[in-house]
Amino acid sequence: MTVVFLLVGLAASGKTSYSRERLEPAGAVRLSVDEVVHERYGRYGVDYPESTYFEKEAPVVAELKELLVRLVAEDQDVVWDHGLWPRKHRDEMKELVEGVGGHWRLLYFPVDRPELLRRLQERNRRGDANALFVSEEALDDFIGRFEVPQGEDEEIIDPDWL
């Protein structure tokens, strides 16, 4: 059965690295919302205001969901490389995957705040699609909005894998 890996974690938790190093080499196609937004609009907070990110993100999410459906129909494993912070979004993705005959695996990347800050300091120096600038204040806002997966058949990815 086709597998869709749903990655759950905050910025700098290792989702993209894990998918690039572990899932793509095994044949999964990675769909990254951040990369498409970057390709179309440039750098978050540099080429467009941070406040407009969600209006840019919404159509990209819709397009990539359509692509995910096509890939599952073609019996292609997929990685959904997007944080899925609210449980509601995770439930919607699970429903979508099941509705097209796929099987989902929810991979959760728990990383504590000090380690996220350390990783963000390194990442914030880069300018690529997977390095959206995140300040300490923004991280605290993200942490406040993040719903930790519990009882969702999540698989915990050890933060030390990286």
Give the other-Cβ count within 10 Å of 95's Cβ.
11
What domains does the chain contain, in order, with CATH numbers? 3-161 (3.40.50.300)
Query: How long is the chain?
Result: 162
| pLDDT tens, residue order, the chain (162 aa) | 899 999 999 989 999 999 999 999 999 999 999 899 989 998 877 888 888 989 999 999 999 999 999 999 999 999 999 989 999 999 999 999 999 999 999 999 999 999 999 998 887 777 665 666 778 898 899 999 999 999 999 999 998 887
Tell me which H or E stretch contains 107: strand 103-108
Give the whole-angstrom CA distance, residue 108 versus residue 119: 17
pLDDT tens readout for residues 120-161: 888 777 766 566 677 889 889 999 999 999 999 999 999 888
Give the whole-angstrom CA distance, residue 89 versus residue 139: 20
